[in-house]
Every structure is written in structure tokens, then in C-alpha cells.
Amino acid sequence: MLKLTNVSKSYAGGKVRAVDDITLHVKRGEIFGFIGPNGAGKTTTIKMICGILQPDSGSIEINGFDVRRDPIQAKKSIGYVPDNHEVYERLTGLEYLNFIGDIY
């Protein structure tokens, strides 16, 4: 279960609103996808769900766990494959090897 309630995120000191007050509830067993043009806030929303970015306002729950208050439990319920390599650059060599081993 994924629940976003009044989630917003801005950049450039609040001048650019990337995500504007989104409320969404994906129930267990449902399949949901984000479709839209570049700049619509898809990646920003996904990064907030994963805990990579913090929303300016609102709340995000994954299987009943709040992403801000209980990030470890929330993250145990999801998987995230980035569309670029920036996540891998933050890992040490050993962390990368462990990560690849876990995936395998």
C-alpha cells in the first residue's frame, strides 16, 4: 500500500514547484505508473517515496510506515532502480560489491 497525502516539493528557494499537493492511494495488489512529460514531477515524486528527497509538505506512507518517521521499515517494503548511476557513486567499493551480490 502506498499513500501520499498533500505532498509538495519545490526547488530554487520555492520558485519552482516540481510537485504540487499530490494525493494518491495505491491499494495492495494494484499496479500504478507515472506517465507525463519531462518536468512533470515524476522522478521527484519517486525520489520522495524512496526517501532520497524530503517533501516540503505532506506525508508518504508505505505499508503503513511513514517515510519520515520510520524510513527503514518503509524502505524494506519497496525496491528502487535508478535511471542513472548517481546512487552507485555514493557507495564504497565494498558496499557496491555487497549490493551486486545481494541483487544476484
More confidently predicted of 52 and 88: 52
More confidently predicted of 24 and 100: 24
Nearest to 19 by CA among 39, 38, 37, 34: 39
Residue 23 is which amino acid? Answer: T
Confidence of residue 87 (pLDDT cuts 50, 70, 90): low
- Residue 103 grid cell: 541483487
For 10-65, write each residue's pLDDT tens digit: 999 889 999 999 999 999 999 988 899 998 999 999 999 998 899 999 999 999 99
Q: What is the pLDDT of residue 104?
A: 65
Given a cut of 90, whether residue 77 has pLDDT beyond it is no
* 89 φ/ψ angles, rounded to the nearest 5 degrees: -70, -15
Q: What is the pLDDT of residue 97?
A: 84
Is the distance from CB of 9 to CB of 44 less than 8 angstroms? yes
pTM of the model: 0.78
